Amino acid sequence: MTETVSITCIRCPIGCDIELEVEDGEILSLEGADCIQGEEYAREEFRNPTRVLPTTVRVTGGVLPYVPVKTAEPIPKGKLEAAVEELATVEVEAPVELGDVIVENICDTGVAIVATRDLPAAEEGPVAAD
Amino acid sequence: MTESRQAVTSDVDAMRREEHDLVVVGGGPAGLGAAQAAYDEGVDDIVILERDFELGGILQQCVHPGFGLEYFEEELTGPEYAQEFIENVAERGVDIRLDTMVLEVTHDRTVYAVNDEDGVTEIDAEKVILAMGCRERTRDALDIPGSRPAGIFTAGTAQRLINMEGKLPGEKAVILGSGDVGLIMARHMHLEGAEVEAVLEIMPYTGGITRNVVQCLEDFDIPLRTQQTITEIHGNDRVEGVTVQEVDDDFEPIPGTEYEIECDTVLLSVGLIPENELSVDAGVELHSVTGGPIVDETRETNVEDIYACGNVLHVHDVVDWVTEESMIAGRSAARSLQDRVETRKEPIEIESTAKLRYVVPDRISTIDPDREEIPLYMRVHAPMEDVFVTLSSGGEELTRTFERRAEPGEMVTLNVDSDTLAELPEPRLELDVVQREEA
Ligand SMILES: Cc1cc2nc3c(=O)[nH]c(=O)nc-3n(C[C@H](O)[C@H](O)[C@H](O)COP(=O)(O)OP(=O)(O)OC[C@H]3O[C@@H](n4cnc5c(N)ncnc54)[C@H](O)[C@@H]3O)c2cc1C
Ligand code: SF4
């Protein structure tokens, strides 16, 4: 049975609405993209949609109680929630440097979680994460 | 502010006094870019005054990617983008004062700043660059009736709570306003475990970019409801729900369309206002549309030697343009300090038709031999497709740029060649937007 899937291209601000006709997971036709990049995007987005996940993890002894992190590469969209859950259990110690690997392999994706800023240690009493 | 001023005058003898070539008020991306550019142009006596405990401004709480695509040609998160510029000013030995609040800037460029260590410092500055950023509109600016329970936050406050303090503002949220901050917060709230019931938008279209609509709402099946608004907030101690109503084309609620949504949190993402209390006190004239100072192409305000850039000047959606603009301000202030620019006998006024909401700058008032082109930043009133933005003078078209899609949420830039300006039919430039067919 053929079905129609619509995907909005986000490769550029124009945001073309692309319609895919698919059958059994195969793309039969593709319409609405203004350029070749959009067609590529729609194919990828249909087969394996991925996203960079930005979030935060707990820090002890830092000038702030949380440090921002992201996945070093995009991960499958379906794993975003699981990744956030796994990161909720992680705690690192200040100082943290931009680019530090916080988790090596998040949710078995093979992708690392890295810090996205320097977070110095607090000079006086540490700020508690609650 | 009256209280602090009294402190200034009564304590006048004990006050620290300093002189500097350039004082930058605010250490967000605008202040950092301005300081860096001024230094690179040859000015080394620069002070940045920042009230927060660290540099970086609002970027430190914007942990999502989407920054730097223009400037670094690489997609960075807010903190990563900020850190580049923080390192740049540190390397240049710029004098950075944190936890330091600027209380007043006078029209003759005396800056009063206070911190715990030094008390009040009076700084005589040759040039001042204002880079205080913007603040969010709150419920008071909206006038939503109903009780005043806890659980109503601006989207930016919620962003700071989650990303810097690790606190989730609530469990079931309705977001009012679909600009980028509202959209980003919908995703954040969802991923952190809250339910986002809906994002409501009073306009017929979202104020955010497509990418955020896709990746923040559609990815998680969060509904975006346009031409709807909150007409009442319920709850005594804590928000318990909201009444939502459809609106007509004049934004008037349509009777009979009311429905209720149960929620414990309302996030407001209903606009940003440039933070200009200091500017006004200095005698700086503000633009009726942008809410920021009226400036020339160097970003100098009507008060001589006081410049403005970044969100304090006009609200930017993309930080890369903040950097570009602040570098113009920093470079221009430096060149002016070094007497490298000439003032035009008569400034070139920049005007626009009703299709454009605003244009920055307002006029071109200097001649700078080192400058090849001048970027004009503008926003359209309503979404338009397949248009040309044209620049003319005395009825003669000088240049144009094509926009496949122009949205109020995305700034349009048109660059004018310095050479073009040398031989204008009249000291006036006119911007217009025309459909491709007509053009
Ligand atoms: C909530 C929110 C979310 C945003 N999200 C995005 C986004 O996702 N992507 C994007 O590209 N842009 C985003 N923006 C726009 C963003 O603000 C700009 O791109 C950029 O950060 C503006 O830089 P700025 O330096 O002008 O202002 P800011 O970053 O706001 O910096 C202003 C600085 O001035 C300081 N200051 C103010 N008054 C004083 C004073 N009296 N004395 C001393 N210091 C003072 C402040 O503490 C602050 O550090 C967002 C804006 C807001 C408000
Ligand atoms: S298809 Fe091409 S033109 Fe359309 S949004 Fe994607 S990249 Fe832009």
B209 Ramachandran zone, left/alpha/beta (phi>0; psi -120 to 50):
beta
- Ligand closest in space to the Cα of B187: 1
Output the DSSP codes for chain A.
-EEEEEEE--SSTT--EEEEEEETTEEEEEE--SSHHHHHHHHHHHH--EEPPEEEEEEESBSSSEEEEEESS-EEGGGHHHHHHHHTT-EEES-B-TT-EEESSGGGSS--EEE-S-BPBPSSSPPPP-
What pLDDT was estimated at residue B408?
82
A127 found inside a domain: no
Instruction: Read off φ and ψ for residue B338, nearest 5 degrees.
Output: -90, 15
| CATH for B1-136+271-340 (1.20.120.160, 3.40.50.10890, 3.50.50.60, 3.40.640.10) | 3.50.50.60
The total of structural domains in chain A comes to 2
| Residue B183 to residue B201: CA distance in whole angstroms | 11
Q: Same domain, yes or no, for A77 and A102?
A: yes
Q: For chain B, where do the domains classified as CATH 3.50.50.60 start and end?
A: 1-136+271-340, 138-270
What pLDDT was estimated at residue B438?
56
A78 touches chain B (CB under 8 A): no
Range of the domain at A15: 2-47
Q: Which residues of B touch A34 (CB under 8 A)?
A: 404
> Among the three residues A15, A32, A47, which one is the final residue of a domain in this structure?
A47
A14 touches chain B (CB under 8 A): yes
Helices and strands (DSSP H and E) totals, chain B:
9, 27
Q: Which of B77, B84, B167, B195 would best serve as a mutation to test chain A binding (most A beta carbons within 10 A)?
A: B77
What pLDDT was estimated at residue A126?
44
Please check whether residue A5 is in contact with residue A20, taking contact to mean a CB–CB distance below 8 angstroms.
Answer: yes
| Residue B191 to residue B319: CA distance in whole angstroms | 24
CA atoms within 13 A on the CB side of B30: 30
Element (H or E) spanning B294, and its range? Answer: none
Please check whether residue B341 is in contact with residue B273, taking contact to mean a CB–CB distance below 8 angstroms.
Answer: no
Predicted confidence band at B51 (pLDDT cuts at 50, 70, 90)? very high
Strand partners, B59: none
pLDDT tops 80 at residue B142: no
A84 found inside a domain: yes
| Residue B311 to residue B289: CA distance in whole angstroms | 14
CA dist B134 → A97, B15, B231 (Å): 29, 30, 26
> Which has the closest alpha carbon to A32: A17, A12, A21?
A17
- Ligand closest in space to the Cα of B133: 1
Residues A8, B191: C-beta atoms closer than 8 Å: no
What pLDDT was estimated at residue B383?
86
CATH number at residue A74: 3.10.530.10
Q: Which residues of B touch A80 (CB under 8 A)?
A: 191, 219
| Residue A69 to residue A67: CA distance in whole angstroms | 6
For the segment B213-226, the average pLDDT, to the nearest whole number, is: 94
Question: Looking at ligand 1, which atom is closest to the CA of residue B315?
Answer: 15
3-state secondary structure of B3: helix
Q: Which residues of A touch B219 (CB under 8 A)?
A: 51, 77, 80
Cα distance from B77 to chain A (closest Cα, Å)?
7
For the record, the structure tokens of B325 come out as 């603009």
Across the interface, of A10, A15, A68, the residue whose CB is closest to B163 is A68
pLDDT in tens, B406-436: 888 788 999 999 999 988 999 999 999 999 8
What pLDDT was estimated at residue A123?
81
Question: Looking at ligand 1, which atom is closest to the CA of residue B184?
Answer: 8
**For chain B, how are helix, strand and coil distributed in percent, rounded to 5?**
25, 40, 35
What pLDDT was estimated at residue B8?
47
A125 found inside a domain: no
Count CB atoms within 10 A of the CB of residue B148: 10
Across the interface, of A13, A56, A81, the residue whose CB is closest to B209 is A13
Classify residue B186 by its DSSP letter. Answer: H
Residues B166, A98: C-beta atoms closer than 8 Å: no
Q: Which residues of A touch B83 (CB under 8 A)?
A: 98, 117-118
Q: Which of A6, A9, A39 to mutate to test the pocket of ligand 2 (most atoms within 8 A of CB)?
A: A9
Q: Same domain, yes or no, for A74 and A107?
A: yes
For the segment B22-42, the average pLDDT, to the nearest whole number, is: 98
| Residue B187 to residue B109: CA distance in whole angstroms | 44
Question: Looking at ligand 2, which atom is closest to the CA of residue A14?
Answer: 5
Ligand 2 neighbours by CB, cut-off 6 Å:
A 9, 11-12, 14-16, 33-35, 37-38
What is the layout of strands, in order, in the sheet containing A91-93? A91-93, A54-60, A66-71, A113-115, A101-103
pLDDT tops 60 at residue A125: no
> Which has the closest alpha carbon to B421: B364, B376, B383?
B364
What percent of chain B shows pLDDT beyond 90? 82
Instruction: Read off φ and ψ for residue B343, nearest 5 degrees.
Output: -85, 135
Say if domain B342-439 classifies as CATH 3.40.50. no
pLDDT in tens, B54-85: 999 999 999 999 899 889 998 899 999 999 99
3-state secondary structure of B110: strand
For the record, the structure tokens of B312 come out as 């304090």
Count CB atoms within 10 A of the CB of residue B359: 21
Q: Same domain, yes or no, for A88 and A36?
A: no
What pLDDT was estimated at residue B69?
87
Chain position carrying tokens 């248009």? B387
Q: Same domain, yes or no, for A86 and A67?
A: yes
| Residue B213 to residue B179: CA distance in whole angstroms | 9
What percent of chain B shows pLDDT beyond 70? 96
Predicted confidence band at B12 (pLDDT cuts at 50, 70, 90)? low
ipTM, 2 dp: 0.85
Lowest mean pLDDT among A52-56, B195-199, B380-384: B380-384
Residues B166, A15: C-beta atoms closer than 8 Å: no
pLDDT in tens, A2-30: 899 999 998 887 889 999 999 998 999 99
CA of residue A41 to ligand 2 center, whole Å: 9
Which residues are within 8 A (CB) of B219 and not within 5 positions of it... i.e. 6 or more apart?
Answer: A51, A77, A80, B187
What value does the mean pLDDT of chain B take? 92
For the segment B362-380, the average pLDDT, to the nearest whole number, is: 94
For the segment A45-72, the average pLDDT, to the nearest whole number, is: 95
How do strand B95-97 and strand B46-49 relate by DSSP bridges?
parallel
CA of residue B293 to ligand 1 center, whole Å: 16
For the record, the structure tokens of B115 come out as 């911190």
A120 found inside a domain: no
Predicted confidence band at B13 (pLDDT cuts at 50, 70, 90)? low
Q: Same domain, yes or no, for A7 and A30?
A: yes
Predicted confidence band at B304 (pLDDT cuts at 50, 70, 90)? very high
Please check whether residue B57 is in contact with residue B28, taking contact to mean a CB–CB distance below 8 angstroms.
Answer: yes
For the record, the structure tokens of B225 come out as 């409801």
CA dist A85 → A117, B34, B46, B115 (Å): 21, 40, 45, 41
* Residues A49/A55/A58/A60 CA torsion (nearest 10 deg): 120
CA of residue A36 to ligand 2 center, whole Å: 8
Say what the pTM is. Answer: 0.91
CATH number at residue A17: 2.20.25
Question: What is the widest separation between alpha-carbon atoms in chain B?
Answer: 69
Tell me the CATH number for domain B138-270: 3.50.50.60
> What type of residue is B7?
A
Between B383 and B194, whose confidence is greater? Answer: B194
3-state secondary structure of B117: coil
What pLDDT was estimated at residue B59?
96
pLDDT tops 90 at residue A75: yes
For the record, the structure tokens of B346 come out as 């008569």
Instruction: Read off φ and ψ for residue B195, nearest 5 degrees.
Output: -95, 130
Alpha helices in B175-318, H assignment, sequence order: 180-191, 210-212, 277-281
Q: Which residues of A touch B54 (CB under 8 A)?
A: 63
> What type of residue is B158?
A
